[in-house]
Each structure stands twice: as C-alpha cells, then as structure tokens.
Structure 1
Amino acid sequence: MNLETKKTVINKSQKDFFEFLTDLSNFKQLMPENTDKFEVDGESFIFSLKGMPEIRLVIKEKQEFDKIVLGAASSKLNFSLTALISQVTETSCETQLLFNGDFNPMMAMMVKSPLQKFIDTLTENASKL
C-alpha cells in the first residue's frame, strides 16, 4: 500500500528542516492533537493516538538535506515513512511524505483512511512551523 501527501511549502531552509526532522523530539510538534503518547529513545520514537496501538519508528536512512526514511521497529508491521525535502528558496523548502506498507488486503482497507489522514496532518502541521 502506497500513500502520499501533497507537496507542502515549509518556511525553513532545506538544511534547517532536514535537521529539524532528524531531531526526533521535534516530531511531537507535527503529531495530531489526539496523540496519547510520544517518547523519544535514541534513534527511534514511540507514539500512540487515542484508540490505536503504540507504534515505534526508527530512522532507517538519512540522505543529507533531502531525504529521511523512518521505518517500523517491529517486524510484525512492515512499513516506511519517507520525507522528501527539496529547496525552493534560501529560506523555504518543499516536503512530501510517502508511506509504503506491506499489509494484507483486509488490513490495508482498514488502515488506509486513518493513515492518509495521519500523514496529511504531519505535513499540514509542518507547514505551520
């Protein structure tokens, strides 16, 4: 299952936004209002939304200033969340989130809409920085 957000302009330079995202504690600012739990642990963070199980994301790949890949820490759920960052001007950049998950068809049907809403919220909140 592949989901993506619209490209969104961020009022930070490409380098600043990349560094913002690589400091995982900053993801708390991007999370939806219904976040129940958010804890950073080294190169990973755990979060849960009301009524949903906890999810741990780990930094899997960093491509300096233009790409960060987060992946599930659990082998039970195989997915990644990729942030693509491109420079627009000296003081702004554009970002897009890509979600790629390997789910059975029933699970994919159940999680598609909430996941799309989640990644849309992340980019919307990033645009307000």
Structure 2
Amino acid sequence: MSVFESTVTVNKPVAQVYAFLADMNNHRQLMPDNIEDWESTADVASFNIQNITKLSIKIEERVANTLVRIIPAEKPPFDMELKWELSEADGATQAAFTITAQLNMLMKMMASGPLQKLVDEETTNLAKLLS
C-alpha cells in the first residue's frame, strides 16, 4: 500500500470544516485544475483527470466532526481510499487528508508524484477556502 498524506490547520470550528467536507458537491473547489467534467451529488462525484482517467468516488462513511471516508463508486484503475480526519486545535481545525492506494511498482513510479501533489493541493485549497 502506498500512503500520501497532507495536514493543514483551518481557522474555523471543526463542525464547519466537517459540514463542508461531508458534501461531495464542495470537493470540486478542492481539486486541481486538471479535473474536468465534474458532476456531483452530496454523496457521489464523477470526473475526468485530464489525459489520465475517469473516476467516480463516493462517501462511504461519515463520523460527525471527525471523519469523511471516500472510496471508488466504480472500479478504479487501482484500489484506493481517500480519508479526511478532523480534530479540534485551540478553536481551529486540524485537517489531515490521506490517500491510500494499492499500486504496483510501475503505477507507483508514475502516480506517486501526482497523488502527493493532489493531497497537498486539496489541503492547501481547503485552508484558503475556509479562511
């Protein structure tokens, strides 16, 4: 398993950050520019990663003010899980975003950079949006 992580502090109450992340419609604002054809509901999002693949993901688990776990809604190119873990830190929110992916050696070489960039960009965008 390959693990890609990024953590950020958001100067908002944990309930507000959780409410934002618990709705897949809001996740478009966190994505990088190479995401196209975004379609979403509160639970599911489908999109194209420019020149790479089409993905459909869904929220599998919500734990109020603590966790949003996202998994593929359709068979992806590789097994993966996306997880937002939240905790309160002095009136602000500590948000940790993790992507866990089952990558073979070739996929790991090709996808590690983009996946790490994705987790970094999503946490940075979350902090900017909710500041």
Assess same fold via TM > 0.5: yes
Contact 1:84 1:96 in 2 (8 A): yes
Letter in 2 for 1:39: E
Contact 2:10–2:126, Cα closer than 8 Å, also in 1: yes
Partner of 1:80: 81
Contact residue 61 and residue 69 of structure 1 kept, 8 A: yes
Query: Partners of 1:20 and 1:41 in 2: how far apart?
Result: 13
The 5-angstrom pairing of residues 24-63 of structure 1 reads 24-41=24-41, 43-63=43-63
Deviation at 1:88, TM superposition (A): 1.5
- Give the RMSD, CA atoms, in angstroms: 1.4
TM-score if structure 1 supplies the norm length?
A: 0.90
Please give the per-residue CA displacement for 1:60-80, whole angstroms capped at 9, x wherever unaligned: 111111111101123343100
The count of corresponding residues between Structure 1 and Structure 2 is: 127
Closer/same/farther in 2, CA of residues 57 and 63 from structure 1, 3 Å limit: same
Q: Is the 8 A contact 2:45 2:56 kept in 1?
A: yes
Quote the residue 1:113 is aligned against. Answer: 113
Give the secondary structure class of the aligned counterpart of 1:54: strand
Structure 1 runs, 4 residues or longer, greater than 4 Å off? none
1:90-123 C-alpha deviation (Å, 9 max, x unpaired):
3x20111111111222112211111110111100
Q: TM-score, normalised by structure 2?
A: 0.89
Consecutive unaligned residues of structure 1, counting only runs of 5 or more, are: none
List gaps (5 residues or longer) in structure 2: none
